[in-house]
């Protein structure tokens, strides 16, 4: 059954997203451009209504057919609840405190479901601290995944890159292939110029699921790879958040201040920036593979790649603005 689930995932995602797109258009559920947007025309938002259920069904079928992953019985229902919450937020914005609180509950449920012998931080901390810091990291990853979903195709590329990295390391292979297949089915509709956006109903559950897999990766001894694979995403999101906090801005509000967004504002196409992030991620996947033998040099390489990427995006923006 595993092979059938994986084979059907891409066409099912493609067809389901098309059906959801038509429904959103009829219902006039659109993301209208504003000063914080990177798009210029009203675009249906809510592709997660197709992507997330397909992923959850596929992961459930994989768990039935092969060995399930640690905490899966708690994580998948919690993800389903986040889908409902996030869809409500797509329709009418919920208070930030309520969103964050319910996300924290979902993360807590997932953390408490992990087996006690699993040490996310490699036994360097007592179990309570290991779980607390793991929960904080997971909760941040859920939100940064949502923050970074700001241009066409970027979340599809990041999800596929992380999944490919897992598979290259020999981890979560059927689940990783499923993630790639469902993402590529969505890519048909989300590549620039996007016909539909994921919305919170896609980016929040995806961040939740991928954050869980990264914790499992670290808990399985692949701690360096768990840091390296999402390095560009967490660096761009974290540095942007810190800058906004220092300036006294409301960090939970939408904005266009990420490095990749500044490149788009300076004139780069969505597809150009997204493909550049794919190239960055391929280098990070290589560094993650290297970390299995040499973790510290591989981490150093990831720092160089990520830092250079942020610098180049920023530099591009400055050069284009100076040329105007």
pTM of the model: 0.95
What distances in angstroms separate CA 285 from CA 165, 218, 290, 302, one per listed residue?
A: 5, 15, 9, 9
What are 233's two structure tokens?
A: 């995403």
Before 193, cis peptide (omega within 30)? yes
Encode the chain (324 residues) as per-residue pLDDT tens digits. Answer: 788 999 999 999 999 999 999 999 999 999 877 655 566 688 999 999 999 999 999 999 999 987 789 999 999 999 999 999 999 998 888 888 999 999 999 999 999 999 989 999 999 999 999 999 999 999 999 999 999 998 999 999 999 999 999 999 999 999 999 999 999 999 999 999 999 999 999 999 999 999 999 999 999 999 999 999 999 999 999 999 998 888 888 777 777 788 899 888 888 889 999 999 999 999 999 999 999 999 999 999 999 999 999 998 987 756 555 444
* Strands 43-44 and 30-31, sheet pairing: antiparallel
- Find tokens 């993630």 and name the residue: 179
Give the number of domains in the chain.
1
What distances in angstroms separate CA 278 from CA 20, 151, 282, 302, one per listed residue?
A: 27, 13, 6, 14
H or E stretch covering 31? strand 30-31
Instruction: Name the phi and psi angles at 249, rounded to 5.
Output: -80, 160
Its domain, for residue 199, covers 2-322
Distance, in Å, from the CA atom of 54 to the CA atom of 13, rounded to the nearest integer, reads 7
């Amino acid at each position: 059954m595993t092979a059938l689930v994986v084979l059907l995932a891409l066409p099912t995602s493609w067809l389901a997203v098309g059906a959801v797109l038509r429904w959103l258009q009829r219902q006039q559920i659109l993301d209208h451009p504003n000063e914080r947007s990177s798009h210029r025309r009203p675009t249906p938002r809510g592709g997660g209504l197709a992507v997330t259920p397909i992923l959850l069904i596929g992961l459930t079928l994989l768990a039935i057919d092969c060995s399930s992953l640690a905490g899966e019985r708690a994580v998948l229902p919690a993800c389903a609840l986040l889908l409902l919450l996030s869809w409500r937020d797509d329709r009418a914005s919920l208070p930030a405190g309520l969103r964050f609180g319910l996300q924290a509950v979902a993360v807590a449920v997932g953390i408490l479901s992990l087996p006690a012998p699993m040490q996310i931080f490699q036994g360097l901390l007592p179990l309570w601290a290991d779980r607390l810091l793991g929960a904080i990291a997971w909760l941040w990853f859920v939100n940064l995944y949502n923050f970074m979903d700001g241009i066409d195709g970027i979340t599809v590329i990041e999800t596929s890159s992380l999944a490919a990295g897992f598979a290259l390391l020999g981890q979560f292979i059927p689940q990783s292939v499923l993630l790639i297949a469902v993402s590529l089915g969505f890519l048909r509709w989300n590549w620039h110029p996007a016909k539909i956006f994921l919305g919170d109903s896609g980016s929040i559950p995806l961040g939740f699921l991928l954050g869980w897999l990264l914790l499992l990766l670290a808990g399985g001894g692949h701690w360096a790879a768990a840091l390296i694979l999402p390095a560009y995403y967490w660096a761009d999101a974290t540095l942007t958040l810190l800058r906004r906090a220092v300036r006294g801005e409301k960090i939970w509000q939408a904005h266009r201040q990420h490095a990749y967004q500044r490149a788009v504002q300076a004139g780069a196409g969505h597809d150009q920036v997204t493909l550049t992030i794919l190239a960055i991620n391929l280098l990070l996947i290589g560094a993650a593979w290297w970390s299995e033998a040499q973790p510290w040099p591989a981490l150093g390489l990831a720092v160089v790649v990520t830092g250079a990427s942020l610098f180049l995006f920023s530099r591009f923006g400055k050069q284009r603005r100076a040329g105007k």
